Structure 1
Amino acid sequence: MAKVLVIGAGVMGLATAWQALRDGHQVDLLEAAPEPGGMAAHFDFAGDSIERFYHFVCRTDYPTFELLRELNLEDRLRWRPTSMGFYTDGRLHPWGNPVALLQLPHAPLLSKLRYGLLAFVSTRRDSWPELENESAKDWIIRWCGEDAYRRFWKTLLEFKFYEHADNISAAWIWTRIRRIGRSRSSIMQEELGYIDGGSQTLVDALVRDIEKLGGRIHLGSPVQFVTTQGNRVTGAETSSQHFEADYVISTTPTPYVADMIPDLPEDWKQRYRAIQNIGVICVIFKLRRPVTEHFWVNVSIPDLTIPGVVELTNLRKEISNSIVYIPYYMPTTNEKFYWPDEHLLAEGFGCLLRLNPELKASDIVATHVGRLRHGQPVCEPGFAAKIPPVQTPIEGLQIADTCFYYPEDRGIAESVRLGRSMARAIPQPIPVPAPSPRVESIV
């Protein structure tokens, strides 16, 4: 059996380790944080266990379904009819279906029809290679016109990507439209899923199975550097010990790779350094009353610097209070990324008051602010050619993070798919045949 070392215990790392163990390898899993799960990890929010960064399941998340079946968790998947809202012109409107689109006031009919046509075509296309080298802005304007771009897309892109907003890949935006557009029970009804107990249910099951299969998980063990000899990986060094390995698979964010693997060729280091990420801040409120009836609301007004709001309890109905995520995406060079928590909470609650003026400060049960420096890769046109191969020039070393899902967006399904494929790329142990019984001749 091969000695396999997996770096990073997010869902991708856990899936990698789990698959490698099932394939007969010996596995150590190193994680810098004190708990496994990465972006899917939970925390206790005034008595409710919820993700630090919200997650949901779509009808096309087939790798998730397969993994849940293999973990005997298929019965923990729940589906709910959900809806979307759109806050613009000082009002909250229903959104996400043809009737809501046509009934939106003030927008020209032609803009609405062209927007609807783009959503319809995007949902039904399985492949669209022509989009790889086009910007989302140019693509949307070409299909929908300047007016529709300004009304429906401009502020969403600007408050997610800031200075990169005009140079985001059309292929990346298309796959997001397609994934959500295909998660419906009918043309009028969106349908999303979640795992009963949240993503922690999946994380805990993977951890249990990894340990049951003989794998070792080392929490609070950041890797200082990966070791090699003769262009072959030999393991990794932490502050406390050296882990020997025949194969190393890194799932940590690409900005850490160049420093973590000093023996990589310089041109490969530059490829990892060239991948840009933006940060994310999730401001979370627990409230005594709901803000809206929608799971998510797109916000499209210039003086609210957020792309939207996610109301988790309109998906996970078993949670008693209303739990609302306000995601702030921005480059970590932006001064707002370092605002004190109380400033972000004040602005965030002001946004919720715009959506529901009946809210009061006394409705706040609890608050939380979470920050992540590498929350979203910036996928510009031509991004596919920018991503290095998973297998590096160092024998036995594979590297991937969330940007390797491109053109798909970050999500548990893609983490599972890529993690398992990296583990399966390791040569499986060759069974040694049992010796044949010796036959002694009788003379």
Structure 2
Amino acid sequence: MNLGIIGAGATGLTAGWDAIRAGHQVTILEAARELGGLAASLDVGGVPLERYYHHIFRSDRDMIGLIEELGLGDALRFHKPTTGIYRGGKLIDFTSPFDMVRFPEFSPVDAVRFAGSSAVLKAVRNGERYNDLTALAWLRKWAGKKATSAVWEPLLRGKFGDRAEQVSMAWLWARIHCRTFELGYVDGGFERVYAALRDGIDERGGKVEFGKAVETIRQEGADGPAVVHCADGSSYSFDRLIVTTPQPAFAKAAGLPADDAVWKNQYLGATCFVLELDRSVIPYYWLNINEPDFPFLAVVEHTRMIDPSVYGGRHVLYIGNYVEREDWRFTTEPGELLDRFVPYLQRINPEFDRSWIQKWHFSKAGFAQPVVTPEYRALIPGHETPMSKVTLATMAQIYPQDRGQSYSVAMSRKVTASLGLR
């Protein structure tokens, strides 16, 4: 079979890897000039580093299995990084269960309710029982008003803004149930995984082509080939096409009508700074910002997990956000945006000075975080599309999880198996 794949992220590259080993011809078309999709990398001190913070959990069996399959198992290391919360002008340890129940705003009853509700969510195996519930309503009832207002609500509002009250409890269950205290990272970055997939495809006669922004996808007749036209004027014809782009991008390229379900789920954009610093800023790997006036969601000091010597002695700090694409934090020129963020970094660490920043990078993606409401599940499109030779495999079809490298690998393998490509 002559297989085309749109997107060289985790889903597309895994599908290409499996299909070409099964004897099919594979061509992957990627709009960007780099591998990895939302896990794409930039260079820090001569070492690839993800544009948006990435790690995996002990529970991410599909990604771990793929890493081992590619011969990179020895490069995957698990760490026990620290977590904090910034609230009330203070840094609060929030790494262990003991830290959590000692949260300064909790009474003994609050601590018990917080711990008990979290334990329930870890114990429940099927999160779809929460499909019809909103997260904040469930949390106020079971975790308690204090734990919700101090811990959960600031996080949900920081991530989803005005849509926080609509977020599904099934989505939050997945965030708690599937996560582990240990985090995994590949020596040299996840770029090594995606490069190994690309190299494996290349070595077997497949192609990964960059700068191929897709303009249209059509099918010739009821059972004819899928035809892809790209912005650079090139075109391709495939026996079968797998599309891994976000739903709206696929709907536009495929010319689907406005009332088609594929348009209906909503996405937030993501923005992320990577700061290369000459010293550390926070005493944690991950710092949640639980102050409503802050313009960003989280600060992640990657070199609290991976030694700065890996990056030429630079300390690496991410400043991450999920925002509407019309929001000023998405549309502002990056240099100006960083200037506006600096005073908030100084609130976290009063000693912080802009001179600590030796170099910075900025990335943004328009479709990075689906807004998972109780109605979301009913709006998830199937993998089959109105074109019989075109299959959709995108992050919105990962439920109740909504993205993540391991879930992308699992979905890719489910799709290729269903199409007889493995």
Query: TM-score of the superposition, structure 1-length normalised?
Result: 0.90
Deviation at 1:13, TM superposition (A): 0.8
Aligned partner of 1:223 in structure 2 is 214
Equivalence map 1:40-119=2 (5 Å): 40-45=39-44, 47-119=46-118
Report what 2:367 is aligned to.
374
| Residues 47-102 of structure 1: CA deviation (Å, up to 9, x unaligned) | 44211111101001111111112111111101111111011111101103222123
Shift of 1:204: 0.7
After superposing the two structures, state which structure 1 stretch, 43-52 or 276-285, moved more: 43-52
1:366-395 Cα shifts (integer Å, max 9, x gaps): 112211111111111132211011122321
Q: Provide the residue aligned with 2:282 in structure 1.
A: 292
Matched ranges for 1:132-151 at <5 A: 132-151=131-150
Contact 1:19–1:424 (8 Å) recurs in 2:
no
CA contact (8 A) 2:214 2:229 kept: yes
* Residues 394-427 of structure 1 deviation map (CA, whole Å, 9 limit, x = unaligned): 2121112111112113211111111122222223
Task: Give yes or no for the alignment of 1:411 onto 2:404.
Answer: yes
Deviations 1:329-349 (A, max 9, x none): 111122332122223212333
Which residue number corresponds to residue 171 of structure 2? Answer: 172
* Residue matched to 2:327: 334
Residue identity opposite 2:53 in structure 1: Y
**CA offsets per residue over residues 272-324 of structure 1, 9 Å max, x none?**
11111111110221111112231101111122132221111112223332111
Q: Percent identity?
A: 31
Structure ID, larger Rg = 1
Residues in 1 aligned to 2:68 and 2:146: alpha-carbon distance in whole angstroms: 46
Quote the residue 1:270 is aligned against: 260
AA in 1 matched with 2:419:
I
Please list, as runs of the form range in 1=range in 2, the aligned pairs for 1:185-264 lying within 5 A after superposition: 190-232=181-223, 234-235=225-226, 236-238=228-230, 239-262=232-255, 264=256
SS in 1 for 2:185: strand
Shift of 1:233: 5.3
Post-superposition offset of 1:428: 5.0
Shifted more, 164-173 versus 108-117: the winner is 108-117
User: Are the counterparts in 1 of residues 83 and 94 from structure 2 also a CA contact under 8 Å?
Assistant: yes
Q: 1:306-345 to 2 correspondence within 5 Å? A: 306-317=296-307, 318-319=310-311, 320-345=313-338
Q: Secondary structure at the match of 1:385?
A: helix
Cα distance in 2 for residues equivalent to 1:33 and 1:140 = 40
**Aligned pair count?**
417
Q: Secondary structure at the match of 2:225?
A: strand
Q: Which amino acid aligns with 1:66?
A: G
* Matched letter for residue 223 of structure 2: R
Amino acid in structure 1 at the alignment position of 2:75: R
Cα pair 1:122 1:177 within 8 Å, conserved: yes
- Is the CA contact (8 Å cut-off) linking 2:297 and 2:321 kept in structure 1? yes
Mapped contact 2:370–2:402 kept (Cα < 8 A)? no
**CA deviation digits over 1:118-141, x for unaligned, max 9?**
222212221133200111111111
Question: Structure 1 counterpart of 2:152, which letter?
Answer: W
Instruction: Give the superposed CA RMSD.
Output: 1.8
Gaps in structure 1 of 5+ consecutive residues = 184-189, 430-443
Structure 2 spans left out of the alignment, 5+ residues: none
Distance 2:73 2:46 in 1: 26
Q: How many Å separate the matches in 2 of 1:29 and 1:277?
A: 24
Residue type matched to 1:199 in 2?
Answer: F
Shift of 1:104: 2.2
- Aligned 8 A contact 1:172 1:379 in 2: yes
> What letter is aligned with 2:125?
D
Aligned residue number for residue 392 of structure 2: 399
Letter in 1 for 2:306: R
CA contact (8 A) 2:265 2:376 kept: no
Contact 1:23 1:428 in 2 (8 A): yes
Structure 1 pair 348/47, CA: closer, same or farther in 2 (3 Å)? farther
In structure 2, relative to structure 1, the CA distance for the partners of 1:359 and 1:336 (3 Å cut) is closer
Q: Which deviations, in whole Å up to 9, do the C-alpha atoms of 1:231-272 show, x marking residues without a partner?
A: 33512122433312111100011111222113x5x47x6211
- Supply the distance in 1 between the matched residues of 2:251 and 2:102 (Cα, whole angstroms): 52
User: 1:46 Cα shift?
Assistant: 5.3
TM-score, L = length of structure 2: 0.94
1:159 equivalent in alignment to 2:154: no
For the 8 Å contact 1:277–1:374, the answer to whether it is kept is yes
Deviates most, 96-105 or 24-33: 96-105
Return the alpha-carbon distance in structure 2 between the equivalents of residues 51 and 233 of structure 1.
Answer: 39
CA contact (8 A) 1:233 1:245 kept: no
CA contact (8 A) 1:137 1:166 kept: yes
Q: Quick check: 1:279–1:376 contact (8 Å CA) kept in 2?
A: yes
Match of 1:64, SS state, is helix
> What one-letter code is carried by the residue in structure 2 that aligns with 1:7?
I
Deviations 1:211-239 (A, max 9, x none): 01111111111222112123335121224
